[in-house]
Amino acid sequence: MPASKAAKKAPQDGTYGLPEATLMGLYEYLMTTRMVDERFRKLYRQGRFAGTYYSAVGQEATTVGPTYGLRDEDIIAPSHRELGAAITKGIPLVEIFAHNFARRNSPDKGKTHPCHYSSRAKGVMVAASTLAGQTVVGTGCAMAFKIMKKDNIVISFFGEGATSRGGWHEALNFAGIHKLPALYICQNNFWAESVPSTLQAGIEDFSDRAKAYGFPGITIDGNDIFLVHKISNEAITRARTGEGPTLIECKTYRYYGHSEIDPADYRRDEEIEVWKKKDPIPRAEKILLDIGLLTMEKRESLVERINQEIEDAIAVCEKEEYYPPEEAYNDVYSDQFPVRREEY
Amino acid sequence: MKTVSFIQAINEALFEEMERDERVFLIGQDIGIYGGVFKATKGLLDKFGPLRVIDAPISEVYIAGGSVGAAMVGLKPVPEIQFADFITPSMDQIIQQAAKMRYRSGGQWTSPMTLRVCCGGEVGGGPYHSQTNEQWFFSQPGLIVVLPSTPYDAKGLLKAAIRGDDPVIFFEHKKLYRMIKGEIPDEDYTVPIGKAAVRKEGKDITLVAYGLMYHKCLQAVETLEKEGLSCELIDMRTLLPWDRETILESVKKTSRAVLVQENTKTGGVMAEVAATIMEEVFDYLDAPVQRVCGLDVPNAPFAPPMEHFFLPNAEKIARVARKVMEF
C-alpha cells in the first residue's frame, strides 16, 4: 500500500487501527507482566525464593507486544528479561511462579537458572546465560521450519549488549542468506548491566546492524505497546510468507538494576525520571480511556483480578514440595543412558 | 559383505540415514557442492537437494547452535565441523546448549543431533589440522562422545547416533579415512553406543585404546605376542558414557593395564579410566596402571620428527607394556 494512502487510513488516536480485542488484550498482558514482576521483587527481598531475580519493569511493552497473538507452535527464544513474552505466550502464572520457587510444579523441575521461564507446550525455549546464545538456537528453529515447509515463526529476544556477541552475527547472517522465518527483537535499554550502549557499539541505532545481513531493520519507541505490536506483526506476516527476517530495535528502559543485588548506581536519577514519564502502562491507559475502551472501574476490577491470580499462584507454589534431591540424576540423557549413582 | 574404506562407510551411513528418515539433514562448510574436504558427503547434495545438504558460511557457532535449534523442533541434524581444531568457536553452543538442553529444561526440550568432527594427527597437519580434543567433551555429561576405529563401527555407530535421542559428538580420525579398509554387511545394521569391543582376548595384560591408537596397539600386540605375551586388546569406541564393565572385567582377568590415547596426557580420557580401575579393582592389580599419551604440550608440532616424537606409537606402547610386565 502506498504510504500516503496508509497515512490517510490510520487513525491518529494512538491505536494504529488495531482491533479492540487486541488493544485490550495487549493492555491486560502488559498490566499482568508489571504486577507479576513487582510481586517477584518483593518475594525475592522477603527471601521467599533463592538465587537472584532479573526485573524487566519498564520494558514490558517490548516483550508483550511482539508475542501477543502467536501460535503455540511458534517459538520464543528468550533471554533473562522476557517475563512478558513467557506470560503472553501462555505459560500459566502457576508455572511462572513455580519456576522461580524451583518447586515440583515447575516445568524445568527446579534445574535451571531463575527467570529462565520455559514451556515445551507453549513454545518457549529455555534460556542460557551466555547472551545471544538463544538467538543462535532460535535461528536454528527457524531454519528447521523452512526445511519442514511449516509456516511457524521464531522470535529471538535480546538486549543491545548481546548484539556484540559473535554468535549473534553468525545467526543473523545465516537468517539473511536463507530468508528464515525469524523476528529479532532488540530491547535497547541503554545499559548492559553497567556498560552504557555508547561503550557497546559505535552506532546509535542497533537496527542498523540488519543492513549488513540483507534484511530490514527498524528502530521504534519500545514503550508504545500498540506500535511495538503493530510493527512486529507486520514483520511476523512477512516471516510467515517467506519474505525473511526483520530486526526491530525497541528503545526502552529498565527501572531497576541488572538483578536485585545491583543498586544500578552507575545511572543518573534524572535519566530514570525521564524514562518513567514514558512508562508504557499510563501511555496505553490514556489511549484506551480516550477512545472509551477502558474506564477507571474496568481498570480497578482488572487489577483486582490479576492480583487474585497472582496470590492464588503463589499460594499453590509455596505449598508445593521440592523434588527429592535424587532428581538431580534425571534428564541427563534419554532413558537409554541412565547416569551412574554414586555412593558417598 | 563388502570391503569399504572408513570414508566410504561414513558416506554410506549418511546416505542411508537420509534416505530412511526425511528429518535427517546435513549442515557444514564445503559439504555440498564440494562434497566435503575429505569427500565424506560426496553425492549427497545431488541426491537430497539444498534444503537437506546445507553449505554453511564460516560460522561454527551457528553450525552447532543452529543444529541444536533444529533438533529442538523435530529435525535430526547432522552438522559437520571440518576440523576438530575449528570446534572452539562452537564450544558455547555445544556445552551450554546441546549438552544441557534436556537437563536444564527438566526434560521438556531435547537436542538430538550428531555433530561430525574430523580429528587426529600423524598427517603432518601441524597445530590447526591435527588436534584430538575429545577430552574437552568427555568431561561434559549430557554429551555422547564416539570415536570409532574401523569402517564397520564407523557406519554402525554413526547410524546409531543419528537414530538416537541425545547429542553426539562423533569424531572421525582423518588418518583412518583412507588408510583403513574393512568388511561391512550389505544390509542395514547399527553398533550400540556405550559398548567397547574386545578385539582380541588374552590373559597377561590389557591394552585399552580408541581411534588411531587402537591400530597402534594392534601393531604393538603383534610384537608382544611374538615375545610370548598374551595380550587382551580393547577398543573403547564410545568414550562417553564409557563401558566400565568391559574394561574392569578385563583388568580383573589380566591384572595389568596399559592405556593409550593420542591426546595430551593430563586430564585425558585415560586418566579417568585409570582412576576408575584404581577405585574399583585395585585388589586385582599386579602392577601400576600405565598410560601412553600425546605429550603435555599445546599441540602436535608440525616438523615430522617432532610430530612423531609427540605421538604414541607401537614401539612406545610395547616398551611400556614390557615395563608393566616386569613390575
The DSSP code for B98 is I
Q: Chain B residue with minimal CA distance to A76?
A: B69
Report the C-alpha gap between A61 and A55 in whole angstroms: 14
Q: Are residues B101 and B211 in the same domain?
A: no
Which residues in chain B are contacts of A331 at CB distance < 8 A?
A: 102-103, 105-107
Q: Are residues B119 and B258 in the same domain?
A: no
Domain that holds residue B168: 2-184
**Contact flag B57-A333 (C-beta cutoff 8 Å):** no
Q: Are residues B246 and B321 in the same domain?
A: yes
Q: Chain B residue with minimal CA distance to A75?
A: B73
CB-nearest to B107 from A119, A166, A331 is: A331
Report the C-alpha gap between B6 and A252 in whole angstroms: 56
Report the C-alpha gap between B73 and B61 in whole angstroms: 19
> Per-residue pLDDT tens for B52-91?
999 999 999 999 999 999 999 999 999 999 999 999 999 9
* pLDDT attached to residue A8: 55
Total number of domains constituting chain B: 2
**Contact flag A111-B106 (C-beta cutoff 8 Å):** yes
Q: Are residues B68 and B180 in the same domain?
A: yes
Report the C-alpha gap between B6 and B11 in whole angstroms: 9
Residue A11: band (very low, low, confident or very high) from pLDDT cuts 50, 70, 90: confident
Q: Are residues B85 and B162 in the same domain?
A: yes
The count of residues in chain B is 327
Q: What pTM was estimated for this model as a whole?
A: 0.96
Residue A2: band (very low, low, confident or very high) from pLDDT cuts 50, 70, 90: very low
CB-nearest to A171 from B62, B70, B104 is: B62
Count of beta carbons in the 10 Å neighbourhood of residue B276: 16
Report the C-alpha gap between A142 and B208 in whole angstroms: 44
Return the domain boundaries, chain A: 20-329
Fold classification of A20-329 is Rossmann fold (3.40.50)
Candidate list B129, B173, B215, B308, residue with the active-site label: B129
> Does pLDDT of A10 surpass 90?
no
The DSSP code for A199 is G
Percent of chain B with pLDDT over 70: 100
Q: Are residues B139 and B16 in the same domain?
A: yes
Lowest-pLDDT range of A8-12, B123-127, B187-191: A8-12
Residue A9: band (very low, low, confident or very high) from pLDDT cuts 50, 70, 90: low
> Per-residue pLDDT tens for B21-55?
999 999 999 999 999 999 999 999 999 999 999 99
A244: region left, alpha or beta (phi > 0 left; psi from -120 to 50 alpha)? left
**Contact flag A111-B108 (C-beta cutoff 8 Å):** no
Report the C-alpha gap between A139 and A134 in whole angstroms: 8
Mean of the per-residue pLDDT values of chain B: 97
Instruction: Give me the residue label for grid cell 508489571.
Output: A34
**Contact flag B52-A107 (C-beta cutoff 8 Å):** no
The Cα of A27 is separated from the nearest Cα of chain B by a number of Å equal to: 30
Give ∠ CA B160-B166-B168 in degrees, rounded to 5.
70
**Contact flag B106-A112 (C-beta cutoff 8 Å):** yes
Stretch B184-189: mean pLDDT: 97
Which pairs count as long-range contacts for B35-38, CB under 8 Å and 24+ apart, including other chains? Answer: B36/B80, B37/B82, B37/B118, B38/B7, B38/B118, B38/B174, B38/B177
Cell of B271: 586418566
Which residues in chain A are contacts of B106 at CB distance < 8 A?
A: 106-112, 331
Report the C-alpha gap between B270 and B208 in whole angstroms: 9
Residue type, B323: K
- Assess A69–B contact: CB distance below 8 Å, yes or no: no
Instruction: Give me the residue label for grid cell 530468508.
Output: A179
The maximal CA–CA distance of chain B, rounded, in angstroms, is 60
Question: What pairs with residue B170 in β-bridges?
Answer: B116, B146
Beta strand B238-240 with B144-146: parallel, antiparallel or unpaired? antiparallel
Per the CB < 8 A criterion, the answer to whether B312 and B262 are in contact is: yes
**Contact flag A333-B108 (C-beta cutoff 8 Å):** no
DSSP H/E element including A29: helix A20-45
Exposure class string for B170-192: b at 16+ Cβ within 10 A, else e: bbbbbbbbeebebebeeeeebbe
Which residues in chain A are contacts of B68 at CB distance < 8 A?
A: 136-137, 140
Which residues in chain B are contacts of A140 at CB distance < 8 A?
A: 62, 65-72, 77
A·B CB contacts under 8 A: 162
> Does pLDDT of A133 surpass 70?
yes
- Outline where B21-108 has alpha helix (H): 44-48, 60-72, 91-92, 101-104
Distances (CA, A) of B151 to A136, B10, B148, B156: 34, 8, 8, 8
Active site residue B215: no
Per the CB < 8 A criterion, the answer to whether A225 and A30 are in contact is: yes
Per the CB < 8 A criterion, the answer to whether A257 and A264 are in contact is: yes
Q: Are residues B235 and B314 in the same domain?
A: yes
User: Is B189 contained in some domain?
Assistant: no
Cell of A178: 536463507
Q: Are residues B108 and B224 in the same domain?
A: no
CB-nearest to A140 from B68, B105, B241 is: B68
Residue type, B218: L
Instruction: For residue B203, give the CATH number of its domain.
Output: 3.40.50.920
Phi, psi of A185 (to 5 degrees): -110, 110
Q: Are residues B163 and B29 in the same domain?
A: yes
> Per-residue pLDDT tens for B238-269?
999 999 999 999 999 999 999 999 999 999 99
Report the C-alpha gap between B47 and B42 in whole angstroms: 10
B120: nearest Cα among B135, B132, B109: B132
The Cα of B102 is separated from the nearest Cα of chain A by a number of Å equal to: 6
| Final residue of a structural domain among B184, B216, B241 | B184
- Assess A156–B contact: CB distance below 8 Å, yes or no: no
Q: Are residues B165 and B201 in the same domain?
A: no
The Cα of A207 is separated from the nearest Cα of chain B by a number of Å equal to: 21
* pLDDT attached to residue A320: 96
- Assess A334–B contact: CB distance below 8 Å, yes or no: yes
Distances (CA, A) of A21 to A14, A17, A87: 15, 12, 18
> Does pLDDT of A5 surpass 90?
no
* pLDDT attached to residue A3: 47
User: Choosing among B25, B95, B109, which should be mutated to test the A contact, i.e. which has the most A CBs within 10 A?
Assistant: B109
Q: Are residues B10 and B122 in the same domain?
A: yes
The Cα of A333 is separated from the nearest Cα of chain B by a number of Å equal to: 6
Which residues in chain B are contacts of A332 at CB distance < 8 A?
A: 102-103, 141-142
B225: region left, alpha or beta (phi > 0 left; psi from -120 to 50 alpha)? alpha
Stretch A261-280: mean pLDDT: 95
Report the C-alpha gap between B70 and A142 in whole angstroms: 8
CA B305 to chain centre: 25
- Assess A102–B contact: CB distance below 8 Å, yes or no: no
Distances (CA, A) of A287 to A23, A282, A292, A294, A309: 10, 9, 9, 9, 26
Q: Chain B residue with minimal CA distance to A328?
A: B103
Beta strand B257-264 with B231-235: parallel, antiparallel or unpaired? unpaired
CB-nearest to B93 from A109, A133, A146 is: A133
Which residues in chain B are contacts of A133 at CB distance < 8 A?
A: 65, 92-93, 96-97
Q: Chain B residue with minimal CA distance to A109?
A: B106
> Does pLDDT of B192 surpass 60?
yes
Q: Chain A residue with minimal CA distance to B75?
A: A144
Mean of the per-residue pLDDT values of chain A: 95
Q: Are residues B179 and B204 in the same domain?
A: no
**Contact flag A167-B166 (C-beta cutoff 8 Å):** no
Percent of chain A with pLDDT over 70: 97
Report the C-alpha gap between B113 and B70 in whole angstroms: 9
Which residues in chain B are contacts of A338 at CB distance < 8 A?
A: none
DSSP H/E element including A246: strand A246-251
